[in-house]
């Protein structure tokens, strides 16, 4: 049986998963995205050029690697087309190396409008979504109002589906948001045009993966978002609309859990979060701004400022347990260079709140207990050997291993793919 590895974010997203995926792709035959949609933003700097991926697996930058989008993903096919066009000059054979599952649900134009309507209706209780239509698309999937990518292969059947679904969507658009109703004929023209374009990409992704594993192929599974944004295990309702923990892989790719050999969890050397929701170790004022500036913490998808704080071990251990993680990757260690003192949250002060609870109602009762460690002033971006890191940086890595009980196999110390230390 072939080797398979899963990569999952352990915080509130933006941990640098794409860097880890890019690194592990070197030994992979397939890279598969298993959930989420164009609300994800994975950034890789390769050969001095910055690439931001939203739907295409970031392993596409490696020659001869096949990239797949599993049925657990909701596909904005217009966004997907834009990504393909943008990458053609860098990856000339891109169209022959990507397969999209016929089981993916389509993010329709009306989903994006509804996303904004729902956020506006919530007023001060808004969640801070990306507005990309992801939530409404997943909602329609659960309501059985969805349109699958495979429907684009038969436009007559697609029209029949829309004749049933569109009146429901128009009721929501016109009554909740005072929007113009979507015209079926106009929408079908748009769908026909995009159907002709995407048809060559459509295939049976779960079968391709399982057949590949049977033939000893190496498969890398790529998650978007993170455990703390998982719809079931994250800080609900301040979460994404899919299972972004390891649990999403099996439904999102049609793969037996026994076929995943190793689960890598990715964590920054500190914490960030975009949008609303609990964040026990958040730094405010100048402290938070300094960390944001040092880490260039702005959303790859939205451009929004990320909230920043110290590394939270109780939350990290919760995420590790939720996804059965057995290997860690520690990213952006270089951002902590220059701090005289570095803090790690090792406990919470409060009865019944010594461990992380994913119920946001408890967050006001959580008070972080910090371990303070000496920092380092040296620039570490050109170091490639653990033993050559400043002793304080080594101690930080070893302390995270000790507190989590897991080995750290990869540390990133800069934006480019070469700035990594393999342990």
d(CA 296, CA 302) in angstroms, rounded, equals: 14
pTM of the model: 0.91
Q: For the chain, first and last CA: distance in Å?
A: 26
Averaging pLDDT over each range in 9-23, 288-302, 322-336, which range is the top one? 322-336
- What are the C-alpha distances in Å from 238 to residues 38, 54, 323? 18, 20, 19
Q: Per-residue pLDDT averaged across 163-171, rounded?
A: 96
d(CA 59, CA 63) in angstroms, rounded, equals: 9
Q: Which pLDDT does position 354 carry in this prediction?
A: 55
pLDDT of 52 over the 90 cut: no
pLDDT digits (tens, 9 = 90+) for 259-309: 999 999 999 999 999 888 889 999 999 999 999 999 999 876 667 899 999
Where in the chain are the domains? 4-11+28-99+219-261, 105-198, 263-422
Task: Categorize the per-residue pLDDT at 95 as very low, low, confident or very high, splitting at 50, 70 and 90.
Answer: confident
Task: Categorize the per-residue pLDDT at 332 as very low, low, confident or very high, splitting at 50, 70 and 90.
Answer: very high
- Indicate the range of 31-35, 94-98, 109-113 predicted with least confidence: 94-98
CATH 3.40.1410.10, applies to 105-198: no
Architecture of domain 263-422: Alpha-Beta Complex (3.90)
Q: Per-residue pLDDT averaged across 377-394, rounded?
A: 96
d(CA 149, CA 194) in angstroms, rounded, equals: 11
DSSP summary character for residue 104:
P
pLDDT digits (tens, 9 = 90+) for 347-376: 988 654 456 766 666 666 788 999 999 999
Which CATH code for domain 4-11+28-99+219-261?
A: 3.40.440.10
d(CA 5, CA 405) in angstroms, rounded, equals: 20
pLDDT of 48 over the 70 cut: no
pLDDT of 142 over the 60 cut: yes
As a whole number, the mean pLDDT across the chain is 91
d(CA 81, CA 67) in angstroms, rounded, equals: 15
d(CA 290, CA 284) in angstroms, rounded, equals: 10
Residues labelled as active-site residues:
14, 42
């Amino acid at each position: 049986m072939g080797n398979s590895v899963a990569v999952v974010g352990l915080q509130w997203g933006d941990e640098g998963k794409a860097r880890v995926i890019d690194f592990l792709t070197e030994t992979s035959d397939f890279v598969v995205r298993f959930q989420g949609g164009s609300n994800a933003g994975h950034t890789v700097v390769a050969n001095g050029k910055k690439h931001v991926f939203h739907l295409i697996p970031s392993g596409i930058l490696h020659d001869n690697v096949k990239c797949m989008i599993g049925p657990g993903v909701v596909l904005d096919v217009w966004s997907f087309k834009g990504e393909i066009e943008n990458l053609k000059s860098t990856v000339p054979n891109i169209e022959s190396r990507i397969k999209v599952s016929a089981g993916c649900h389509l993010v329709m134009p009306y989903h994006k409008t509804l996303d904004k309507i729902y956020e506006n209706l919530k007023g001060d209780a808004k969640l801070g979504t990306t507005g990309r239509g992801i939530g409404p698309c997943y909602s329609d999937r659960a309501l059985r109002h969805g349109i699958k990518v495979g429907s684009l292969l038969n436009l007559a059947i697609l029209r029949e589906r829309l004749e049933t679904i569109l009146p429901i969507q128009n009721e929501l658009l016109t009554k909740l948001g005072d929007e113009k109703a979507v015209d079926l004929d106009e929408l079908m023209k748009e769908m026909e045009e995009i159907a002709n374009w995407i048809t060559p990409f459509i295939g049976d992704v779960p079968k391709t993966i399982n057949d590949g594993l049977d033939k000893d192929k190496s498969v890398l599974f790529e998650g978007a978002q993170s455990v703390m944004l998982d719809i079931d295990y994250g800080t609900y309702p301040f979460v994404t609309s899919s299972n972004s923990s390891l649990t999403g892989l099996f439904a999102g790719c049609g793969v037996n859990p026994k076929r995943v050999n190793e689960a890598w969890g990715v964590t920054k050397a500190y914490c960030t979060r975009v949008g609303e929701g609990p964040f026990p170790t958040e730094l405010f004022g100048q402290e938070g701004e300094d960390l944001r500036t040092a880490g260039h913490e702005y959303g790859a998808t939205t451009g929004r400022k990320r909230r920043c704080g110290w590394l939270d071990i109780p939350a990290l251990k919760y995420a590790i347990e939720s996804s059965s993680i057995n290997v860690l990757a520690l990213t952006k260690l270089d951002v902590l260079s220059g701090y005289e003192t570095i803090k790690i949250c090792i406990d919470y002060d409060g009865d019944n709140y010594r461990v992380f609870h994913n119920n946001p109602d408890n967050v006001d009762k959580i008070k972080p207990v910090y371990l303070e460690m000496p920092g380092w002033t040296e620039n570490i971006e050109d170091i490639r050997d653990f033993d050559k890191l400043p002793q304080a940086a080594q101690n930080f890595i070893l302390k995270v291993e000790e507190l989590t009980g897991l080995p750290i196999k990869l540390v990133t110390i800069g934006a480019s793919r070469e700035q990594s230390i393999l342990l």
